Structure 1
Amino acid sequence: MKYIFRNLTIFSIFILASVFSSHATDFVSVRYGVITGRIVNKDKIAVYPAVVRIEGFSIGDDADENGVFYISGVPEGEHIIIISGIGIKLKKVTVNVVAGKENQVGDLEVESSDHSLSEVTVLGKSEARRQQEQAYAVSVLDLKKDYSAAIPLNKLLNTVSSVRIREDGGMGSNYNFSLNGFSGNQVKFFLDGIPMDNFGSSFNLANFSANMADRVEVYKGVLPVNLGSDALGGAVNIISRKDANYIDATYSFGSFNTHRAAVNGAYTANNGFTVHANVFYNYSDNDYEVYVPIVDLNTNKKMEERWVRRFHDAYWSVGMRFETGVTGKSYADYLLAGIIYSKNDNDVQTGATMDAVYGGVKAKSSSIIPSVRYKKDDLFVDGLSLSIYGTYNVVDAYNTDTLKRRYNWLGESIPSTTAGERYYTDVKIKNREWQGNGNLNYIINSHQSLMLNYIITSMGRRSNDKVHQDDPMNNIPQRLTKNITGLGWQIRYERWNANIFGKMYRLYSSAYKRVDEYTENARWIQAQDRKTNFGYGAAVTYYILNSLQAKLSYEQAYRLPEAVEMFGDGLIQQRNPDLKPENSRNLNIGLEFNKIFNVHTIFAETNFIFRNTKDFILKAVSLTSNPTTGYDNLGKVLTRGVEGTLRYSFKELFYIGGSISYQDIIDNKKYEEIDNSYVGGITENVTYKQRLPNIPYLFANGNIGFLFRNIGWKNTALTIDYRLNYVHEYFLSFPGLGSKSSKNIIPEQFSHDISAGYSLAGGRYSVVVECTNLNDRKLYDNFRLQKPGRAFNVKLRYFFNK
């Protein structure tokens, strides 16, 4: 592996050296700046879609859903902006660009056009260069309106159709991201296109403030080739803010002694030098009340259920992301070196279910992740773009369970005959992973482009348990290496565009597993595996009308097992080195309607999903007195679902919307083979055609909001927002096994959140008061692990943008 790393490093250095030398003259003679602004109509309503380009240059940008565009790498001096798009008249605006600055042109007003679609100007290379996501089933969550919200980023995603965030408890608890029936590691997470698979437990969506990102892109199925991942059911890409010079600081406090603080900022000098920084701190006692059975520690008998407070569930985390380098240079659109540091400390209150209660189990982790990112358009030849990044993840996890006592939910304890409440351990797990990615894009002509993407990740793990020094697994290396290569072709015309791609997945794993357990020959053996799989797919979109878009996508996708699934987490998650890659045939069909009627905006979307999955990796729980979780392959799983979203807004003063999702996920394997048995052979699967347990199949959300301006003083705003979440009841185990009365269910749940915010000085200062779980309902997600009841939070914000 060291030879692969060396070769990639030499290749990267060669590319960078070539870029520096070939553009040395340009660097001396030409300086660059950024142009940003917003496209609006006569009523100051954002116009979308719209295309902005620089006359005489092959550079430009598409305005986003808020009408905002951002064009980097513009030579200094006077230029003409050309604005065009569906249903709008072509407009030209003169702009004087100052090098090294973000040149803001403000709101650019355009007029409506009655011309047909065929008369709309289509951009050439500059527009085609931009990543086209229109053909994919993707939802974009614009975070600007949520910068003052008190809830973390992961919960904001609950407003996206087909998305469910399932949590084990309060702040710092494990959470599961579910998208169209796929969950956990089947859905991949990216930060500016960089995979976050092994960034550590403290640097995740649950700890992020919405203020650190511009938007979140949620792909429901087929992914663009440039993301270069083995996601099976979709992906979430967090896009950082592009503000050149700003400070955004927030602090919130609330119930259960919960505190969140975040500072986000950027500075860009006239010469292109730039610094980006994101810092966060989170703390909570998590001492909310839960309704649980009480066990008499002396007789070990269950008594009545009652309300008690959690007493061993405190959590804190701290994190920092820092990047510095140059932007807008002739040799690089950006060249940034960065580092991520994060750390957390978590008291573990329960096991996989609330039948287990702990008073001394702890888990903590720390991460240090250096990185480098580089991007250049028009490299060597016009239309050729290169982007590369590399990271090295140093992640250490610690699990401690050494207490010689037993606890119940009253906080009472008695001495135990053995050490360890769950499993006697004091282990340090060292994860070391490097990953590299190269993305090459070439514009063939105004209608076609090619993209090549390669990503390699190699993770090594060692663990050492202080209290089990004779454990044969101490300091034994385990490794998981993935190589994913993707090649895509895009074709684009006025009414339609399509993406066709192929992928090669390669996996190497070296792990250890226990064989001949409970015999005199019980031992650990090394299990090595190499696998190669090929996937393919296509995504097509067609504009039936200017405001009505149809989407169709299909893929044969593979998802390679993750380290935590194969190696375990050293505490509750058990190991399974025999996991096979999942593979799935995925189909998405959708319609999207987006129309502006003067001051009214209507958005409607519906999607049908079909997934035929083999070797589905399912997370299960052992319902024992000391429950654990583990991953296993489930032969065949069939998913069919439908989702719908409807939103309406009146100017910026009022909005209302909601979404609903239904997904029928069944065990589709009729027969199963019996291995490791004296009987052997093939038997009928007793759960054939039954819905998979512990996965919600019907859920919905809704929201409504009001905005009142100039309340009390000028440049002030008062916002009132209400959110509703609904989850239909679902079974904890397969519904066809045993009598219905004997089954555990996750009950039907309604939850309500409400908030009110007030901002001054055009948004520079703001305060938000929020109440979550307003009706104080018992809320559950995974295995009936109860989440917090009614909670209040206050968030203060200061924002400055130069």
Structure 2
Amino acid sequence: MLHDRGFEYGTPRIRWQQRVRGVFFFRDANLLIKVFFKNAAACAALMAGVLGGPVQAAEPSPVYTLDTLVVNGDHMTDTYQIGDVDRNLTPISCSVVDRDAFEGRLENVSDCIERAVGVQIRESGGIGSFSSMTLRGAAREQIRVYLDGILLNDASGGGVDLSRFSVSDVDALEIYRGMTPLNLGNAGIGGAVNIRTLRCDPGTGGGVSLGGGSFGTCRFSGLGNHRTGQGRYLVSIDALKSENDFPVENDNGTTWNTDDDRTEDRNNADVEQLNVLAKAGWKAPFSGKLDLAYQYFDKAQGLPARDNTPAANTRLDTRRHVATLQWSKEKGVYRNGNVRMRLNYIHKNECYDDSHGHIGLGIQKTDYRNRRYSGDCYAEWVSDRHALSLFFETVCETYDADESVVTKNVDLAAVENTRVQVMAGCQDAMIVDNGRWVVTPALRLTWLEDRIESGADRWGNPVADSTDVRLHPAPQIGVRWQMTPRVRIKANAGRFVREPSFFERFGDRGFFLGNPALDEEKGLNLDTGIHWNLPAMGCLHSLQAGVTGFYTDVSDLITRSYDSRGVGKSENVSEARIVGIETEGSVFLDTWLRVSGNLTWQDTQNRSAIGAFDGKQLAGQFRWSGMGRVEVLKAPVRWYAEYRYANGMYYDTANLLPAKARRELNTGLTIDRGRYAMQLDVTHVTDAAYEAFNGYPVPGRAFFVSIRYRFGETGPVGQSLL
């Protein structure tokens, strides 16, 4: 089974870089908090110094505005908060999937963001199975995933499994391709995904939803919202269960002999998960807003064996806690600037139990614990000619794994890993010619220290102490030119560095091996694109379209390769060149018919020093991917049909195992009567067999139905609470 986590501790060969002296090291969360507030004050003082000169208002004249091309929805919500990205100002390529595109459906985050251009999703099975995302040729380790602006990627690594996020409490999904706004903190190679959860709407309301469908799937969700006067709160609960016993074709490991092939149900692929979101806030007339948010996630799942043996009983249990305390104030710093300060805590616990060695590289039972303490300060100041932003963040993260070797019945001493990171960034959106030009330079400076304390690996071998300290600058610049009121041109350039995670260096769980000799990735991102829209003409209500070209040149690119057995290992590719073109468009006809689609072509060339790999495509990357969607919106009925296509992928680094083309047709019907709504979805209509990971098929045709009931105030049309 393909999993996203795992460690095999050996003796790491960690290179010493230039040591940065005089930088503090956080030994506990209390010290982290003290240093955060001290430096946050310095950050605000720095802003005051930068903005000390007089401000002159620009002469009145028309300002060009053109909504950013999005997947669904083209407006900023009324609940815009300090620290949110202004998509009409940023030059970064951005797509947004609004709530009305997935509300009430039995989907997770990966299903929804796959509708965005440039996004590729690979799943290892049915509902709740491991879900991997790539963006512009960047693997999931190289993509930053945020929950309300809080980074979820952790130093333990393995990337973020998007199947672990329900959309029942999500308001919108923001996908930033190639670059990352300073508002979100550190940058990733491929870009970033920000999962923006629901915010409290005025009044009191809520709803409940109940659904079920094929393969023993059932789901319940509920939401309550209250906002009056100075106080507000929101509570959301989502529970999901599925047996995932869909039929699969089993060739018994004899690909060339069809006589022993048989059709059987998927074994040990069941999943149960619970997601809870709670928010509370208070607004004071003069002291700003205070917000508290907490999210709890619990998931228990079986991991099927590659040969689908019914004897497999491997389990993976995951619990995640995310807590945030936030204070924000408009006009709270020098010259009417806005400020937001946060304290964040993330605790993730995973228990991987392969006590009988059914799917991994040996008998293994491990408890993984990751704790992340962080504090950040974001401040912004906006005038007619500038939008200056400052961001400061301190992070202390600990990771340890307790290994119980079943055959010896002993617990090995855990090896504790610690990563401390300090990041400071500055960005200025310079507005020129009354908004026709926006030039946005940005600079991030990141200092980090990795420490591995002594202990023993899963084989009982001793692991010595080691420390690695590094300092990385990351400049980027973007330009947006409003050529005409209907045409906009964007261009971006940026350099990046990504440190290998503990998982990439030492991980082994299931079919993943570690590589202690990994170096950090270093590279350059470039992109440029043109976007335009047409005014309403007759039955044509609106038309938007865009074309973007991108180029990435990476040295020591870390990519996950798989051999013919399906065993994965992270490796430094000597060099990789990724070039591609993204096209997207949508048209609204006579207010009731919407047609949209996108198509991406990319060439992910491996420039390895190993002759067998040089010139080959990076494993796990589709050369072609696209989506077409038709929607009929005739109240109270809403019908859609979408077709997803992907081709040109190889499972392995040597490109000896090509994957079949993916052709997926989905359709659905919603009847919405205001308080009540019913929805029917049919996925994989053609029932075609497909394996995104070699040996791990996804389900065929499936049916899902759900009913919803809303109570209280449901807000404006198209912005219902549930």
TM-score, reference length from structure 2: 0.83
User: 2:441 aligns to what?
Assistant: 500
CA distance in 1, matches of 2:411, 2:453: 10
Q: 1:745 to 1:421 in 2, by over 3 A?
A: closer
User: 2:530 aligns to what?
Assistant: 591
Deviations 1:403-446 (A, max 9, x none): 38x7xxxxxxxxxxxxx975222221222221222212233x42
Q: 1:510 to 1:50 in 2, by over 3 A?
A: closer
Of 600, 615, 633 in structure 2, the residue corresponding to residue 689 of structure 1 is 615
RMSD over aligned Cα atoms:
3.5
CA distance in 2, matches of 1:347, 1:390: 35
User: 2:33 aligns to what?
Assistant: 9
Q: 1:516 to 1:236 in 2, by over 3 A?
A: closer
The 3-state SS of whatever aligns with 1:10 is helix
The within-5 A match list for 1:83-482 is 133-198=89-154, 205-242=162-199, 243-244=201-202, 245-270=204-229, 272-294=230-252, 304-327=260-283, 329-332=285-288, 334-350=289-305, 359-403=312-356, 422-443=361-382, 445-467=383-405, 474-482=413-421
Of 743, 755, 778 in structure 1, the residue corresponding to residue 689 of structure 2 is 778
Structure 1 residue 701, shift from structure 2 partner: 0.8
Q: 1:376 to 1:790 in 2, by over 3 A?
A: same
Q: Mark the structure with the bigger radius of gyration.
A: 1
Structure 1 residue 128, shift from structure 2 partner: 12
The 3-state SS of whatever aligns with 1:746 is coil
Q: 1:457 to 1:8 in 2, by over 3 A?
A: closer
Structure 1 residue 502, shift from structure 2 partner: 1.1
Structure 1 residue 784, shift from structure 2 partner: 4.4
CA distance in 2, matches of 1:628, 1:370: 36
Q: 1:657 to 1:576 in 2, by over 3 A?
A: same
Q: Give yes or no for the alignment of 1:609 onto 2:550.
A: yes
Which letter does structure 2 place at the counterpart of 1:345? A
Q: 1:17 to 1:735 in 2, by over 3 A?
A: closer
Contact 1:282 1:316 in 2 (8 A): yes
Deviations 1:195-249 (A, max 9, x none): 1224999996435443423222110111111111231110011223342343143
Q: 1:595 to 1:331 in 2, by over 3 A?
A: farther
Contact 2:244 2:270 in 1 (8 A): yes
Structure 2: where are the runs of 5+ without partners?
Answer: 1-24, 43-63, 714-722
Contact 2:223 2:237 in 1 (8 A): yes
User: 1:94 aligns to what?
Assistant: none
CA distance in 2, matches of 1:778, 1:231: 34
Q: 1:303 to 1:506 in 2, by over 3 A?
A: farther
Which letter does structure 2 place at the counterpart of 1:456? T
Contact 1:128 1:446 in 2 (8 A): no
CA distance in 1, matches of 2:497, 2:157: 24
Contact 2:267 2:309 in 1 (8 A): no
Of 565, 568, 571 in structure 1, the residue corresponding to residue 507 of structure 2 is 568
CA distance in 2, matches of 1:516, 1:568: 11
Which letter does structure 1 place at the counterpart of 2:708? R
Contact 1:202 1:319 in 2 (8 A): no
Structure 1 residue 563, shift from structure 2 partner: 3.6
CA distance in 1, matches of 2:157, 2:278: 17
Report 1 or 2 for greater relative contact order, CA contacts < 8 Å, sequence distance ≥ 6: 2
CA distance in 1, matches of 2:83, 2:131: 38
User: 1:728 aligns to what?
Assistant: 647
Structure 1 residue 162, shift from structure 2 partner: 0.6
Q: 1:65 to 1:207 in 2, by over 3 A?
A: same
| Segment of structure 1 superposing worse, 656-665 or 148-157 | 148-157
Structure 1 residue 663, shift from structure 2 partner: 0.6
Instruction: State the number of aligned residues.
Output: 655
The 3-state SS of whatever aligns with 1:466 is strand
Structure 1 residue 457, shift from structure 2 partner: 2.6
User: 1:409 aligns to what?
Assistant: none
Which letter does structure 2 place at the counterpart of 1:799? R
The 3-state SS of whatever aligns with 1:579 is coil
User: 1:70 aligns to what?
Assistant: 78
Structure 1 residue 789, shift from structure 2 partner: 0.6
Structure 1 residue 133, shift from structure 2 partner: 4.2
Structure 1 residue 801, shift from structure 2 partner: 5.3
Structure 1 residue 581, shift from structure 2 partner: 2.1
The within-5 A match list for 1:689-708 is 689-708=615-634
Q: 1:719 to 1:266 in 2, by over 3 A?
A: same
CA distance in 2, matches of 1:516, 1:8: 29
The within-5 A match list for 1:590-669 is 590-598=529-537, 600-624=541-565, 627-669=566-608
Of 737, 755, 768 in structure 1, the residue corresponding to residue 679 of structure 2 is 768
TM-score, reference length from structure 1: 0.75
Q: 1:752 to 1:305 in 2, by over 3 A?
A: same
Structure 1 residue 342, shift from structure 2 partner: 1.6
Deviations 1:449-498 (A, max 9, x none): 32221223322122222336787952221222333221112201321212
Structure 1: where are the runs of 5+ without partners?
Answer: 19-46, 52-63, 74-125, 407-419, 672-683, 710-716, 737-742
Contact 2:415 2:452 in 1 (8 A): no
User: 1:798 aligns to what?
Assistant: 709
Structure 1 residue 533, shift from structure 2 partner: 1.5
Q: 1:631 to 1:473 in 2, by over 3 A?
A: farther
The 3-state SS of whatever aligns with 1:611 is strand
Contact 1:401 1:422 in 2 (8 A): no
Contact 1:140 1:217 in 2 (8 A): yes
Q: 1:265 to 1:49 in 2, by over 3 A?
A: farther
Structure 1 residue 184, shift from structure 2 partner: 0.9
User: 2:56 aligns to what?
Assistant: none
Q: 1:515 to 1:247 in 2, by over 3 A?
A: closer
CA distance in 1, matches of 2:457, 2:679: 59
Deviations 1:627-668 (A, max 9, x none): 532222212100000010121112431111111101100112
CA distance in 1, matches of 2:87, 2:587: 28
- State the percentage of identical aligned residues: 17
Structure 1 residue 347, shift from structure 2 partner: 0.7
Which letter does structure 1 place at the counterpart of 2:140? G
User: 2:669 aligns to what?
Assistant: 756
Structure 1 residue 152, shift from structure 2 partner: 2.4
Q: 1:65 to 1:758 in 2, by over 3 A?
A: closer
Q: 1:575 to 1:433 in 2, by over 3 A?
A: farther
